[in-house]
């Protein structure tokens, strides 16, 4: 798992935020979905109720969760 992916998962766990994790290197369907939603292959891609956040930007994730 990438550094920013780990940071995102740690943040979600510490804040009791439920999340789904997909390994795009092993799931081509999820990889295609990620590219369709974000327009790129960078990870993590965080989808908060349709709001797409590429990378782990904690302030942006916090705003999206409110």
- Output the pTM of the full model: 0.86
37's enclosing H/E stretch is helix 28-38
pLDDT at 27 over 80: yes
pLDDT of residue 21: 95
Q: Please count the structural domains in the chain.
A: 1
pLDDT at 31 over 90: yes
Residue with tokens 């092993």: 26
Sheet strands (E) in the chain:
45-48, 51-54
pLDDT at 12 over 70: yes
What's the domain range around 39? 3-65
Residue 8's CB: how many other CB atoms inside 10 A? 25
CATH number (domain holding residue 53): 3.40.30
pLDDT of residue 45: 96
């Amino acid at each position: 798992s990438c550094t920013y992916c780990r940071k995102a998962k740690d943040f979600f766990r510490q804040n009791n935020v439920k999340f789904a994790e997909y390994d795009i290197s092993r799931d081509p369907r999820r990889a295609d979905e990620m590219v369709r939603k974000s327009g790129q292959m960078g990870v993590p891609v965080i989808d908060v109720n349709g709001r797409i956040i590429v990378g782990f930007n904690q302030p942006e994730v916090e705003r999206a969760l409110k």
